[in-house]
Structure 1
Amino acid sequence: MRLRQFVGISAATALAVLGLPIPAASAAVTTLYVNNAASANCSDAGTGTAARPYCTIGAATRVVEPGQTVQVEGSYPESVTLTRSGTPEQPIVFAGSFRDRWPTAGFGVTNSPTALTTTGVHDVVVRNFRLSSSQEKAVVTDSARVTLDGLLVVAATDAPPAVALRGSSTDLTVSRSAFYNSKGIAIGAGVRNTLVTGNDLVDATGPGISATDAPGTVITHNSLTVGCGTGISLAGASAGSVLKNNIVATKPGSWPCSQPQNGISVATGSATGSTLGHNLLFPYLVGWGGAQYSTPAAFQQASAQGAGDLSADPRTTPTDGAPDRLKLLSRSPAIDAADPTAPRLPEDVFGKGLIDDPTMPNTGPGGTAYDIGAHEFHGLGRVDLGLSVNKGPHPLEFTATATARNLWPTQLSYSYDFGDGSAPVITTAPSAKHTYPTTGRFSVVVTVTDGLGGRVVSPDYNNAVEVTEPAPLVPDFSIEAGFEPLAYSFDPASTTSSWQLTKQVMDYGDGSEPTVNPGFSHLYAVPGDYQVKLTVTDAGGRTESVTKTVKVRYAPAGYLPLSPERFLDTRTALGDHQGKLTAGETLNIWPHNTGNVPYYRPVAVVLNLTVTGATQDGFLTVYPDGAARPLASSINFRAGQTVANLVTVPTGTSNRIRIYNSGGGQVDVIGDIVGYYDGDGTKYGEKFAPVQPGRLLDTRTTGGALDTTPRKVQVTGQAGVPADAKAVLVNLTATQPTTGGYLTAYPSDITRPAVSNLNFLPGQTVSNQALIPIATDGTITVYNPSGLTHVIVDVFGSYGPSGTSLFTPLTPTRVADTRTTGKLTQNTSLTVSPAAAPTGATAAVLNLTVTEPEGPGYLTTHATGTPRPPVSNLNFTTGATLSNHTTTPVDATGRFTIDNPGSPTHAIADLLGWFTAA
């Protein structure tokens, strides 16, 4: 193909030569439609009308005739094979949609070898598609006058060339397409007279464009960035070819390369009759006939080729929103420097045509205004359209203002089309006023020109004006619980006004900073009833408010048991606190930093909290971050004592909890997480099944005192625990220990964790509630690391599929304190009636405390009106202050009874939450 064939021809003739369609003069072109959208009413058995389109591209390929266009909307998981041909006068066209720099239609299957295949066809155009496949994206074999235009291809670096032209094909065109991270285009042996023009190849793996034994290949106006490897290659006998007006730049970071690289490489057998010139290479490396040249002057002197070649930074950058499109920056040496005789399309992929940059000299032949590379640089860029009002009652007067990016010192002209049939308003001012007299919805479009041929149109979104009937401003919003505990979203979409809303303010009623304008979502620190107020203002200057009550509550939750894991130990700085917790100090900690608990779902966590090394008597209070510190205790201790207690606490702000030291001294704190309640109810968690408290183990009557040999305890099938239980709630008691020590309870099928459930002193009787996962064989194991001790295990419930209740946590709340009413004397009871018992309550979770006991004894809790069970919840000795986590059944009104069979003592109950029927 000789260069002079393209010179002096008309635009219509050029389109025909380049393989682009020309509408038939004798008959209207018929359009077939393909649209697989759910609303499109498609059918492959139909005729492909707009009202009844085909569902697949393949259906259209089987029936399309010369002169017809197949218009495709959407994406299709199919490999397309073209078997039908057009004529030079009436080609077959397959057209995808193209919007805002991207093809929006696509086809291909990621794991199929090829997305598009054509064999033995002619006069076919495929344009504006995204192609997906595992190997070549498009393969054209033994075909003539086939054009691939406006394609988008993303490929892996180790994949074969994205477009492969093969066999005895002739007069093919690959144009205005984007190739990212691929070998790009490969023209094979026997292919003749191929035109490759106007393409972007970004991060190409060399060669980006190659022709092997393909005479008459024309490669013009392409932009390439490549890693180590050749940008454009003519190999074998590709004689009579043309390489002009291309940009080839090495990808930053790739230079220098470990092996030779050429921007352009032309083999000896391809140099005959071929022409190379006006290319911009950075760095400049040209291989020609077996020799390599590193400057334009050296290449021109040795070969009489390379006229107009440039060696400079091309100043290209990815286009906004389209990283595979390389636009020129201002002052690029490629501007107005191309050879105008080289074949190219009249417009680039963005519809931009020839324009002369008034700020740059015309350095190409004959003072050309063409730019080197795939894109023509225009000083006039994107235009954004702003409307003073988008909605209002008729008659509605408003102002439209265009903001255009113009890099050239030119006078801009603005043409406003207000979409209501009125004549366009043409002005040199960037703003124009208009009045809509009647209701309707109208699109406003502005076209900006710069007097040099530059033209840009405002995007077709955010530019509609709604004209309404006059109506009052009525604020309203909906309330929906969010995914996180105590998170709520507020949607003001139900607010109505004849004017657009200009300001919306949501006051969440908890003293936090109001939010201005959507979206409105809020995370409350603590449950409660809050007055949420929405205040809205519209463009008519009106302001109105509405207030609603949101009842912020923790969602009922299922339990997920965990293998116990330590998250806090002030002795070692685990949990980011080094050293004892001082008097009055509060530790703010994230209890699920172990990796076992998700950040965003827990409504409450279950901890085994241990204190040791206290310098004075005191207690700890554990409560959610963001809440006021409650009048409640979580664990009581004496100076020098090591004591543990189970704690159930809601998660607060950022899913953190606070641990407060009330005492006058210092204390080390150790925290082991044993499980959590999940905010998705039963989706991830297990339900609770309360049982009549019963005994699973008492070594005083069975098996003898526990030594250092771990002892298995059968759980499922005992004392009402069902076979499918996943975790068991027990009261663990040590009595008559020969030495000080601790007990660890854990599922029998895991390695013993480095945690403790219960700490004791020699001769002490002490209890602690424990939540223990159950092994697959239905057992748990109890371990005593030293000496001998008797162990009692009493069951109070289990968690699993057979459970019936979900848990709702509360910020610890004191519900009983005999220090204000008098001690519980021996064989007396206290009935507790919490004021806020929810409907369907089946059990209450408490922290039960005794103080000032006059002798040894124990407390037992049970549902009011039921017999006292033969178990203990809390054991005490004379003068001790002790606490124990307790889960107790309640009666139909939420009441429970505390029985004291032993010595007189004060009893305190702090409510931690409720179980309710699922």
Structure 2
Amino acid sequence: MTSFTRRGLVVVCALSLAAGPLAVRPALAEPSVLHVSDKSACSDTGAGTVEQPFCTVQAAADIVTAGQTVKIEGDHRETVTITRSGTETAPIVFEGDATVRRAEGDTVPTITVREAHDVVLRRMRVAGAVGIPAVHVAGASRVTVDRLTTWGQFEGSPGSDGMRVDGGSSAVTLSRNSIWGYGKRIVVDGASHVTITGNELPSRAPHRGVTLNNAPGTAFTGNTVRGSCNKAVSVTGDAAGTSIQNNIISHLTSASSSSLCESGYTYPLAVDAAAAPGVTVDYNIVHTSSNRVYLWAGTTYASPAELTAATGQGGHDYNVDPDTVTAWVDSANADAPGQLADDIDGHPRVDNPHVADLGGGAVTYHDRGARETQDQLDGHLSFSATRAPVGGEVKVVSTLTSRWGLPVTCDIDFGDGSKLDDAPCETPHAYSATGTYQISVTASTASKLTYALPWRIEVVAAGGALTPSVTATQNGVMSANFQADGGTSPWNVVSVVWDYGDGVTENQSSDRGWHSYRTPGTYTVRATVTDAGGRTAVTSTVFATRGSGIVPFGPTRVLDTRTGVGQGGAVRKIDPFKSIRLAVGGQAGIPVGVTAVAVNVAVTNPTQPGHITGYPAGEARPLASIVNFRAGQTVSNLVILPVSAGGAIDFHNGSSGTVDLVGDVAGYFVRERSEGYAPMDASRVLDTRQGTGTPTGAPAQLPAGQTWSRRIVGGNVPTSATAVVLNVTAAGPAGSGHLTVFPTGKAKPLASNLNYVAGQILTNAVVVPVGVNGEISYFTTTTTHLVVDIVGYVGGDTYFVPVTPVRKVDTRMGTGQGAPKPLDPRVSTYFPVLEGVSPPGTFVPDAAVMNVTVVNPRTSGYLTAHAPQAPWSATSTSTLNFTPGGIVSNLAVVGSGTVAFHNGSDATTDLVVDVTGYFGRY
């Protein structure tokens, strides 16, 4: 549905309020506007300018003069008393987008107009208090209170009052206000010629209604009063010349429903014997569920008909539910004293053609109550072209319809001197000269609705052909923006039928498309392009997803410098500070076009301490590491590394000694149709120390030379999962050896996932296909305890984007946190590890892929990388384990762009995080 305005009417929908300070009057000409604000630059001794407003409303009220407006903004806790006056032609005005509420302990009304005249309060929010009105007019005349919202706190009976007029005041108007509170919403006591019109007294809080006491000449007209208890509208004492017309008074609260309500019978309208001779009642909706509709001069009347028969009053009143019956539409007396030309929202009076006009006065279609029923426009306006050739025919495109079924016509200024008034909206037009023209279109109905549309059209020379092309721009892991161009066509593109190449087609009424692919791949995208001249042509482009799918593989040995595997048969250690290149794509069953590999990299026989860096072949070596080692140590780490365009990886020996390197691929990533990954909050599936997941359910070590097969699917891992990603820890092995994890039902491969020595606690990530019966197998060469945490599975809907390894955290250097600071013990520290890693415009990634390294821990412990939304993972699982002074690394895949790192030790430790990619689904 569209928004709309009214012809010839400015509608202001903002509520505002009075509060703020004023400044000393300048020596020269007085300003027409004094400003009040709660901002820090304010001063009550300043000039009340925009640059230096008053701080309090009272400061302005103390000096304002006739014709000046006090503009208020902000939130003001003060009470304000206005005693200065304007003139009939130059009133004093207080208005603004502000709230004024009593300061704590104040016992006077929030805003008081006392013994002043020609004062206007409008568009403000004002709060009252227990038994204290928000706005009080005392001994004042020609005061208008318009479009205020008032309310108060419920602090016990009698609650908060809304507005009060008394003290001999006269010619006061309360109009279009929204008055809330638990006390008396409106009280007029001892004032004359008060007009109360177009106000809404909502039913959300039970209240004590409206009281008119000794208030001759009151016009209570076109108000909506809901949810009052006792007497909703009560008139007592001198009421000569009082008119109560066009109101909706819906009395739904029983006297027993609220402590605010007095005991006794309830009535929507009560007029006592002294007031009755001077009161006129007519054209109201007076609704109650009881048989006590009126209390008139001490007598109860159960219906308007009874009142009319006895008193002549209420001849056009109805006792109907205004929420279910529309008798209030087009049935008010337009000539009633105080009747407004528009409603509480500024909407004009309109004639609903589907309702009979039963109103009184010169205009018979005004509605009763504070709101006028309005027509609505559905649909939209547009123009058939934004670019057209000279002589080409263009027109307004209109789908606008009136809910009342009224005709919609348009006033059109084509910008070249040609204009149409009240014409069919889709009248064609042709331009005779090139140029850029501003077009103005205003649609309207007899119900006074208007809808305006500014438009601009570029008129070019005739000629040219529709020769389209398509541009594809990646904007996510699996999605792209597409835009079609019309080439030399003088007309703009108005629609495209997109065939995204994956079986999905889409018709767009513009030159743009967006699509997210469900599986990675390279797709031919076809676009059938139509221009504004009605011509059609077809074009295409090729788009490859940024994301890659994972293919579980092996584990398969692709590198061993001890035997020459992966090095053309050459048996040779890696020399100090030198690199070797490993061809991956097209080797050992791994296809050409691979984008990344999951490879378990093992260092053995190092002669000096150092580290290994892995990165796409031919690129500059990044500041990152994948394995850290000491002299003589055998250590392994699973990493996910991007490969070069030619499918190769460079491994650099960052030590002053030689080293052997072994690599076992556990999976690879391709942009062909392949499976996605599902990151999980880590959970423990095997702990032989506790008996979790063991064959017998009791604590038991995995014996040397034996294999355990355990079911891994089930629970959060669906049976459709083809592989799982684990953190596997060997705890306290009896001697040196290694562990191999492989799919059950397959032969144990020549590969290892963990290499350990006696008594060590060592963790490594593992990618392993799921075998028969949903099981995976664990083989150890040495008796040891095993701890296994599952962190994700293959078969999800997120896909991998590899990046050249980038260091995002180094607590030793302050990287990622601004200053050097190790991780505190026994707490989680948060780092936005993917900040700046994914390209601008990319959807928020679902998981970060990192090589996590603990450096120089002060005591033994563990580290857990976990998502902030899974704090329980911090103490129930682990990413790696460490001992004092060690350097330990492991792969972490965490389902969040911001990752928490929990230091599970009693001392500080340093942390290094190198990001190698991320998973995402869009």
2:858 to 697, 701, 717: 717
Q: Structure 1 residue 107 and structure 2 residue 98: aligned? A: yes
CA RMSD, Structure 1 to Structure 2 (Å):
6.5
Q: Structure 1 residue 635 and structure 2 residue 792: aligned? A: no
- CA displacement, residues 886-907 of structure 1 (integer Å, 9 cap, x when unaligned): xxxxxxxxxxxxxxxxxxxxxx
Query: Could you tell me which amino acid in structure 2 is paired with residue 539 of structure 1?
Result: A
Relative to structure 1, the CA distance from residue 53 to residue 446 in structure 2 (aligned partners, 3 Å threshold; closer, same or farther) is farther
- In structure 2, the partner of 1:308 is 316
Q: How does 1:354-373 map to 2 (within 5 A)?
A: 363-364=358-359, 369-373=364-368
CA distance in 2, matches of 1:224, 1:609: 73
Query: Could you tell me which amino acid in structure 2 is paired with residue 778 of structure 1?
Result: D
- In structure 2, the partner of 1:885 is none
Q: How does 1:694-705 map to 2 (within 5 A)?
A: none
SS for the counterpart of 1:552 is: coil
The normalised TM-score by structure 1 is: 0.51
2:524–2:541: 8 Å Cα contact kept in structure 1? no
Q: Structure 1 residue 149 and structure 2 residue 146: aligned? A: yes
1:206–1:230: 8 Å Cα contact kept in structure 2? no
Query: Could you tell me which amino acid in structure 1 is paired with residue 294 of structure 2?
Result: V
1:606–1:647: 8 Å Cα contact kept in structure 2? yes
Relative to structure 1, the CA distance from residue 493 to residue 143 in structure 2 (aligned partners, 3 Å threshold; closer, same or farther) is farther
Q: How does 1:734-883 map to 2 (within 5 A)?
A: 778=906, 802-808=910-916
Q: Structure 1 residue 432 and structure 2 residue 573: aligned? A: no
Residue 157 of structure 1: CA displacement? 7.4
CA distance in 1, matches of 2:229, 2:910: 66
2:190–2:213: 8 Å Cα contact kept in structure 1? yes
Relative to structure 1, the CA distance from residue 517 to residue 362 in structure 2 (aligned partners, 3 Å threshold; closer, same or farther) is closer
Residue 492 of structure 1: CA displacement? 5.7
The normalised TM-score by structure 2 is: 0.51
SS for the counterpart of 2:339 is: coil
- In structure 2, the partner of 1:910 is none
Percent identity of the aligned residues? Answer: 19
- CA displacement, residues 475-499 of structure 1 (integer Å, 9 cap, x when unaligned): 5465444xxxx46564869999986
Q: How does 1:543-558 map to 2 (within 5 A)?
A: 549-552=544-547
2:498–2:527: 8 Å Cα contact kept in structure 1? yes
Residue 55 of structure 1: CA displacement? 10
- In structure 2, the partner of 1:446 is 442
Relative to structure 1, the CA distance from residue 535 to residue 143 in structure 2 (aligned partners, 3 Å threshold; closer, same or farther) is farther
SS for the counterpart of 1:300 is: helix
2:222–2:339: 8 Å Cα contact kept in structure 1? no
- In structure 2, the partner of 1:457 is 450
Residue 201 of structure 1: CA displacement? 3.3
Relative to structure 1, the CA distance from residue 312 to residue 514 in structure 2 (aligned partners, 3 Å threshold; closer, same or farther) is closer
1:387–1:463: 8 Å Cα contact kept in structure 2? no
Residue 87 of structure 1: CA displacement? 0.5
- In structure 2, the partner of 1:398 is 394
- CA displacement, residues 523-556 of structure 1 (integer Å, 9 cap, x when unaligned): 6667778788888655354666665555337999
CA distance in 2, matches of 1:358, 1:420: 35
- In structure 1, the partner of 2:644 is none
- CA displacement, residues 650-701 of structure 1 (integer Å, 9 cap, x when unaligned): 68756799xxxxxxxxxxxxxxxxx9999854899998653699xxxxxxxx
2:789 to 642, 646, 666: 646
SS for the counterpart of 2:395 is: strand
Relative to structure 1, the CA distance from residue 134 to residue 475 in structure 2 (aligned partners, 3 Å threshold; closer, same or farther) is farther
CA distance in 2, matches of 1:220, 1:142: 20
1:507–1:513: 8 Å Cα contact kept in structure 2? yes
1:335–1:372: 8 Å Cα contact kept in structure 2? yes
Query: Could you tell me which amino acid in structure 2 is paired with residue 442 of structure 1?
Result: Q
Q: Structure 1 residue 276 and structure 2 residue 297: aligned? A: no
- CA displacement, residues 122-155 of structure 1 (integer Å, 9 cap, x when unaligned): 213344x352657566554543222122345677
CA distance in 2, matches of 1:677, 1:553: 28
- CA displacement, residues 611-635 of structure 1 (integer Å, 9 cap, x when unaligned): xxxxx96799xxxxxxxx9857683
Residue 303 of structure 1: CA displacement? 4.8
CA distance in 1, matches of 2:110, 2:524: 58
Residue 208 of structure 1: CA displacement? 7.0
Query: Could you tell me which amino acid in structure 2 is paired with residue 309 of structure 1?
Result: D
Relative to structure 1, the CA distance from residue 778 to residue 126 in structure 2 (aligned partners, 3 Å threshold; closer, same or farther) is same
Q: Structure 1 residue 690 and structure 2 residue 687: aligned? A: no
CA distance in 2, matches of 1:272, 1:542: 80
Residue 416 of structure 1: CA displacement? 0.4
- In structure 2, the partner of 1:194 is 194
1:151–1:177: 8 Å Cα contact kept in structure 2? yes
Residue 306 of structure 1: CA displacement? 2.7
Relative to structure 1, the CA distance from residue 310 to residue 368 in structure 2 (aligned partners, 3 Å threshold; closer, same or farther) is farther
- In structure 2, the partner of 1:332 is 327
- In structure 2, the partner of 1:239 is 239
Q: How does 1:644-683 map to 2 (within 5 A)?
A: 645-649=788-792, 653=796, 681=834
- In structure 2, the partner of 1:389 is 384
2:481–2:513: 8 Å Cα contact kept in structure 1? yes
Q: How does 1:607-622 map to 2 (within 5 A)?
A: none
Residue 363 of structure 1: CA displacement? 4.5
Query: Could you tell me which amino acid in structure 1 is paired with residue 281 of structure 2?
Result: L
Relative to structure 1, the CA distance from residue 433 to residue 803 in structure 2 (aligned partners, 3 Å threshold; closer, same or farther) is same
Q: Gaps spanning 5+ residues in structure 1: where?
A: 1-28, 97-105, 317-328, 572-581, 592-603, 611-615, 621-628, 658-674, 694-715, 730-745, 759-767, 780-799, 812-918
- In structure 1, the partner of 2:172 is 172
- CA displacement, residues 198-232 of structure 1 (integer Å, 9 cap, x when unaligned): 22333353447512535136353434362362574
SS for the counterpart of 1:263 is: strand
Residue 756 of structure 1: CA displacement? 12
Query: Could you tell me which amino acid in structure 2 is paired with residue 249 of structure 1?
Result: S
CA distance in 1, matches of 2:504, 2:418: 52
Q: Gaps spanning 5+ residues in structure 2: where?
A: 1-29, 550-595, 597-623, 625-638, 641-678, 687-691, 695-708, 719-723, 731-743, 749-766, 780-784, 801-827, 837-846, 881-889, 894-899
Relative to structure 1, the CA distance from residue 476 to residue 618 in structure 2 (aligned partners, 3 Å threshold; closer, same or farther) is closer
2:335–2:360: 8 Å Cα contact kept in structure 1? yes
- In structure 2, the partner of 1:539 is 532
- CA displacement, residues 160-219 of structure 1 (integer Å, 9 cap, x when unaligned): 244454655432212133457876842254444321112233335344751253513635
CA distance in 1, matches of 2:278, 2:904: 82
- CA displacement, residues 392-427 of structure 1 (integer Å, 9 cap, x when unaligned): 2465743235666557797x5835042738465234
1:287 to 292, 295, 313: 295
Residue 246 of structure 1: CA displacement? 0.6
Residue 369 of structure 1: CA displacement? 0.9
Query: Could you tell me which amino acid in structure 1 is paired with residue 203 of structure 2?
Result: D
CA distance in 2, matches of 1:219, 1:79: 33
Range that drifts further, 172-181 or 272-281:
172-181
Relative to structure 1, the CA distance from residue 776 to residue 55 in structure 2 (aligned partners, 3 Å threshold; closer, same or farther) is farther
SS for the counterpart of 2:308 is: helix
1:374 to 348, 357, 369: 369
Query: Could you tell me which amino acid in structure 2 is paired with residue 444 of structure 1?
Result: S
1:92–1:125: 8 Å Cα contact kept in structure 2? yes
1:646–1:769: 8 Å Cα contact kept in structure 2? no
CA distance in 2, matches of 1:334, 1:747: 60
1:678–1:685: 8 Å Cα contact kept in structure 2? no
2:221–2:336: 8 Å Cα contact kept in structure 1? no
CA distance in 2, matches of 1:676, 1:809: 21
- In structure 2, the partner of 1:226 is 226
